[in-house]
Amino acid sequence: MPSADSAYGELLDRARESATLGSCAAVLGWDERTFLPPGGSGLRGRQMALLARMCHEMATHPRVGELLQILEDSELNGTHAANLREWRRGYDRAVKLPSELVSELASVTSEAQSVWQEAKHKSDFALFRPWLEKIVLLKRREAECVGYVEDAYDALVDEFEPGATALELTRMLGGLSRDLAPLVAEIVAKQPSADESLWTQQYPLDVQEQICREVAKSVGFDFHRGRLDTTSHPFCTGIGPGDCRILTRYHVNKPFEAFFGTLHEAGHGLYEQGLLESEWATPCGMAASFGIHESQSRLWENQIGRSREFWSAWGPRFRSAFSAFRSTSDEEFWCLLNQVKPSLIRIDADEATYNLHIVLRFELELALMSGDVAAADLPGAWADKVRQYLGLPVPDDAHGCLQDIHWSFGGIGYFPSYTLGNLYAAQILEAAEKQIPALWDGVREGQLSVLTDWLRANIHVHGQRFQPAELIQRVTGTPPDPGAFLRYLRGKYLGVAG
C-alpha cells in the first residue's frame, strides 16, 4: 500500500491529467461560442461528448477511490486536507453518474447551444423547445442519480454553489424580492432623469474596443495570459494556467454595453488569473463557487465601475474618445449609468432590478424541474413572471425566455449564483472599505491595483480551500446575508447611510 505522500502524488498526477483534458474541452467550448462554423456543430457535439466521457472515466477510476481512502486514513492538513475534502465530494458525485448520461448531456447541450443561438436569432421558441425538453429530462435523471434530501433541484444547484438548497434559496431570494419591490419604486420615483438621446449617437466600434482593452488592463487583467474577443453572449473562461479568455459584445449606439460587459468579465478573469498556478488542477487552485466568481465580476462592474469615484477617472477618457460625450459631465455619466428602470433583458438590467430577473428564472427552473411548468409552456409562464416582478409585457421570445444561454448548456441551478454574487460583492466591498482606507481615493485616480491585490490575497489564492459560506464569513466577518446589498442600494440611490 502506498504511503500518504505517494498516494497524494498519484492523485495529483491523475487530477492534472483530468484537468488537462478538461482544459481541452474548455478551448472547444470557447471556440463554439466564437468561431465554430454552423456546419461544424454536429462534430462539436461528438467531440464534447467524447471528452466529457473520458474526463468522467478518469474521475471515477476505481484507483481514485482507493487513493482517497488511503489519504482519509492518514493525517492531512492545510491545502492537502482541503483538496482531499473536495476530491472526495467530486468523486462521490461522479461515481453516481453513469458514463453514458455524462456523454449524452455533453452531446445534447453542445448541439442545443447552436439551436438556441438560431432560435434566439429568429425569436422562435418552438425551435428550441424539444431541446429544452431533452435537457430537463436529462437533468432530472442527473438529480436522481446524484440523490438529494429535499428537492431534486438541490442536486443540481450544489454543482454551482456547494451547500445551497432550493429551500434556503427560496427563503433568501423571496425575502430579497419583497424588500426590493418598494425600494425600486422609491428609487425610480426619486431619480434624476438622464439624456436618452445619447443612445441614438454613433460610438465607433474600434474606439470602444480600445477602451475595453484599457479598462481590462487597468483592473489588472493580464493580456499576456489572456484574451478579449467578441461574442453574442459575453462570458469568461479560464482554460488553465496562462490562458484565460473574456468575451464581450459591441453595439454602435451603446458604448457602455461593451465597457461594463468587459469590466464584468475582467472581474471573472482576475479571479481565474489570481488562482495559484502551483495548485492548478487541484480544488485549492479552482474557484470556490459560481457565486463567489460572480461576486468578483459584479464588484468591479457595479460597486466600483458605476461609482462616482470611478467616473472621475474615466469621464475624461470618454469625453475625449467620443464626440457625443464632449459635454457630458462626470456627474451626468454617473446618472446615465445608474438609471434604475425595470426592463426585459437581464444582462442590460440595472443593479437594483437585476435580482428580480434572477428570482423569476430561479422560480421557473424549479418549476421546470418539478414539472409544474412544461417546457412547452415556458414562454407563457415567463411572460407572467415578468409582468409580476417587472410590470412589463414580453413582446417576443428573444426578449423573453430565449435571451439567456444557460439552460441550453444544461446550467439549471446556475442563475441563483448571480444574486449570491451580488450579495457577496456588497459584503466584500464593506470589508475592503474597512481594510483599505485609501480605497476610494485610489479609484478616483484610476489606481485599482490595491483592490485587485486585496481580492487576490483574501479570496483568489484560496481557491476552494474554504467552502463559499465559510470564505464569506472569513473575509467579511458575517455569513452570507442580503443586508449589505440592501444597505449599498439605499446608500447609493437614496443617500441613506448604512
Among all residues, which ones are annotated catalytic? 265
Quick check: 245 and 262 in contact, CB under 8 A?
Answer: no
Q: Among 229, 331, 372, 396, which residue interacts with a second copy (rule: CB under 8 A)?
A: 229
90 forms beta bridges with: none
The CA-based dihedral angle spanning residues 154, 126, 131, 394, taken in that order and rounded to the nearest 10 degrees: -30
Q: Among 141, 227, 308, 317, which residue interacts with a second copy (rule: CB under 8 A)?
A: 227
* Nearest residue (CB) to a second copy, 221 versus 334: 221
| Torsional sign, CA 134, 139, 142, 144 | negative
* Nearest residue (CB) to a second copy, 50 versus 436: 50
Residues 22-51 that bind a second copy (CB under 8 A): 23-24, 27-28, 31, 35-44, 46-47, 50-51
Beta strands in 231-387 (DSSP E): 235-240, 243-248
Least distance (Å) between residue 241 CB and a second copy: 5
Least distance (Å) between residue 224 CB and a second copy: 5
Q: Among 241, 267, 342, 400, which residue interacts with a second copy (rule: CB under 8 A)?
A: 241
Least distance (Å) between residue 49 CB and a second copy: 9
Helix 308-321, helix 205-218: angle, nearest 10? 150
Fill in the per-residue mask, 311 to 350: x = in contact with a second copy (CB under 8 A), - = not in contact. ----------------------------------------
Quick check: 464 and 410 in contact, CB under 8 A?
Answer: no
Least distance (Å) between residue 38 CB and a second copy: 5
Q: Read out DSSP for 36-101?
A: --GGGHHHHHHHHHHHHHHHHHHHT-HHHHHHHHHHHTS---HHHHHHHHHHHHHHHHHHHS-HHH
* Nearest residue (CB) to a second copy, 22 versus 255: 22
* Nearest residue (CB) to a second copy, 272 versus 365: 272
> Using CA atoms, how far apart are residues 87 and 19, in angstroms rounded to an integer?
13
Interaction between residue 223 and a second copy (CB under 8 A): yes
**Look-up: residue for cell 485610489?**
442
Least distance (Å) between residue 11 CB and a second copy: 17
SS3 assignment, position 356: helix
Fill in the per-residue mask, 51 to 90: x = in contact with a second copy (CB under 8 A), - = not in contact. x--x------------------------------------
Q: Among 10, 222, 309, 481, which residue interacts with a second copy (rule: CB under 8 A)?
A: 222
AA identity, residue 390: L
Strand order in the sheet with 235-240: 226-230, 243-248, 235-240
> Using CA atoms, how far apart are residues 44 and 40, in angstroms rounded to an integer?
6
* Nearest residue (CB) to a second copy, 228 versus 394: 228
Size of the site for a second copy (CB under 8 A): 37
From 166-174, 199-207, 239-247, 311-319, span contacting a second copy (CB under 8 A): 239-247
| Site residues for a second copy per CB under 8 A | 17, 20-21, 23-24, 27-28, 31, 35-44, 46-47, 50-51, 54, 222-227, 229, 239-245
